Structure 1
Amino acid sequence: MGNTILHVAAHYGRAHFAAEVLKITPALLWHQSKKNETVLHIAANEGHIEVVHLLLSIEEHYKEKLMRITYENGDTALHKAVRSRHQDVARLLVKEDPEFEFPSNKAQETPLYLAAESDLREALVEILNSCKQPTSSAGPLNRTPLHAAVIQEHPDCARLLMQWNKSLCEEPDAGNSLHFAALLGVKEVVSDMLGWKKSLAYLPAGSENDWTTATHIAAAAGKVDVLHELLNHCPDCWEMLDSNGRNALHEAILYSQANVVSYLLKPTKWDKLIEDPDNDGNTPLHLLASSNFWGYVPLELKDHPRAKKMSYDKENKTPSDVAMSCTEWTADKDRIAPSLYHNFFISVAQLG
């Protein structure tokens, strides 16, 4: 079956006309299109709150049933309102059916998840305050609403969700929400999470044999502000190693994050980072020598008194040996910009 005249009236927000149609043919209220779309779905999707009010008042005793009908993708009218960013309609729908937990659609999205993802704070607050049991079950890719808020960098929504259910901070995806906040540089969320539970900083992200930590993630992403928050709340997390035996300085060099290198090496309390070998015996200097970071060697690293330029990796190579071996790929050096080629050899010389 296709759309009726009532569907059309709902689409264009003609509340008065819709009321007249329903007086003549009230059964149209329950009519669904080929995609299981009701008149309420359409009105909610278009944000026509007067039409929504009307539809919910026609059959007062059955309004919950009407609101719980799902579209072909599993969306309820509330899903539609939130997805289309109509917060006034969303708040009305929540108030009209507070007993409903508003489960996920076929894509595993709950209205709560969509509100967090879209930074719809008013709708989020209404769902959290009005629904007796709003579901926070895992959404797409096994992510919670808190994951969604953090990934989209919505700190206010993240804070609301943490206040509602702090255990969401510990729910893993490929990592917990702290790991995503560290990656994206959402400092306020990092501070809030660690203020609640410092041990989150020590939880790994990844698989059993290939994992990292929030400290490594922040260092690799160049998020100095986040790194500062982590070290301020958990002063010993600078010592943490990932599954490859690497510290935060290793990661900063691997990802050419000069600002992180400078930050980690300015205070003497983290000096030990510069001489620590990873599982392959590589110190941060070894990684520097083999990386594309050679165009700029941070002074804090090059001139550091604890930089062991004669340290050996598992192949018995010093950082200088590693740097020289990397010149093999320059056989066709005419294709390389002369300035970069010159800088490379200056950097090799600086490593001793």
Structure 2
Amino acid sequence: MEDSLFPNTNFDSLLSKFNHEWETPLAIAVALGHVFLASDLLERCHCMRLRQAILQQDKDGFNALHHAIRNRHEDLALKLIEKEPLLSQALSNYGESPMFVAVMRHFTKVSSKLLDVHDSFDRGKYGRNALHAAARNGNSVIAKKIMEKRYWLAGQADMAGNTPIMLAVTYGKIDVLGVLL
């Protein structure tokens, strides 16, 4: 890694450490929007096989992928999924999977990439799933991709008993309703 931010530095033990909020250096870099640094740390952790440093969830249950999506760093999110697909299986303390957050943010590429991860979680808060989020937001492109890969989500009701179809009707999202039907 000659072009690395930290050439010839042996700090693998520091990369694995987390602070009192359970944040690793990678998670902190992502959360604070230091994309170049986060990319470098991700590459180092991946090369050194410091898997737990990549997967670590903070005190709120967010991992580096959650932070990348929440902070609108789409390219970094794609890189995180590529290097460590297991990031897609984390749920925050609020019950949000990275896929749910990506759909809420209208991140089509990230949502598609997460759908390609066979066992990625699609759950969201209030018992909703990624298809509920697409219906609520009126995103027919993502709804179609979800229906192609996980059609069974259309029949799942949230804690209030609403299915994605019911949300599409409630919010007048006709394009999404057409996809769901």
TM-score bracket relative to the smaller structure:
0.7 to 0.9
Which structure 1 residue ranges, 4+ long, deviate > 6 Å from structure 2? none
Amino acid at match of 1:141: Y
| Superposition TM-score, scaled by structure 2 size | 0.87
Q: In structure 1, list runs of 5 or more residues that go unmatched.
A: 1-14, 195-352
2:166 matched residue in structure 1: 179
- The question of whether the paired residues in 1 share the 8 Å contact of 2:55 and 2:86 is answered with no
Shift of 1:165: 0.7
Match of 1:167 among 152, 160, 171: 152
2:15 matched residue in structure 1: 29
Q: In structure 2, list runs of 5 or more residues that go unmatched.
A: none
- The question of whether the paired residues in 1 share the 8 Å contact of 2:39 and 2:76 is answered with no
Q: Distance in 2 between matches of 1:99 and 1:36?
A: 18
1:56 matched residue in structure 2: 42
Q: Distance in 1 between matches of 2:65 and 2:136?
A: 23
| Cα pair distance change 1:46/1:122, threshold 3 Å | farther
Shift of 1:190: 1.1
Tell which structure's C-alpha radius of gyration is larger: 1
* 1:328-347 aligned within 5 A: none
**What secondary structure does 1:62 align onto?**
coil
- The question of whether the paired residues in 1 share the 8 Å contact of 2:131 and 2:164 is answered with yes
Q: Distance in 2 between matches of 1:38 and 1:160?
A: 33
1:116 matched residue in structure 2: 103
Q: How many matched pairs?
A: 175
> RMSD of aligned C-alpha atoms?
2.0
Say if 2:74 is the partner of 1:87. yes
* Percent pairwise identity: 23
Match of 2:178 among 191, 203, 207: 191
- The question of whether the paired residues in 2 share the 8 Å contact of 1:44 and 1:80 is answered with yes
Q: Distance in 1 between matches of 2:21 and 2:125?
A: 22
| Cα pair distance change 1:36/1:100, threshold 3 Å | closer
**Could you report, residue by residue, the CA deviation over 1:301-337 in whole angstroms, capped at 9, with x for unpaired residues?**
xxxxxxxxxxxxxxxxxxxxxxxxxxxxxxxxxxxxx
Match of 1:155 among 136, 140, 144: 140
Q: Distance in 1 between matches of 2:88 and 2:109?
A: 18
**What secondary structure does 1:105 align onto?**
coil
Q: Distance in 1 between matches of 2:165 and 2:175?
A: 11
Q: Distance in 1 between matches of 2:28 and 2:67?
A: 8
- The question of whether the paired residues in 1 share the 8 Å contact of 2:90 and 2:121 is answered with yes
| Superposition TM-score, scaled by structure 1 size | 0.47
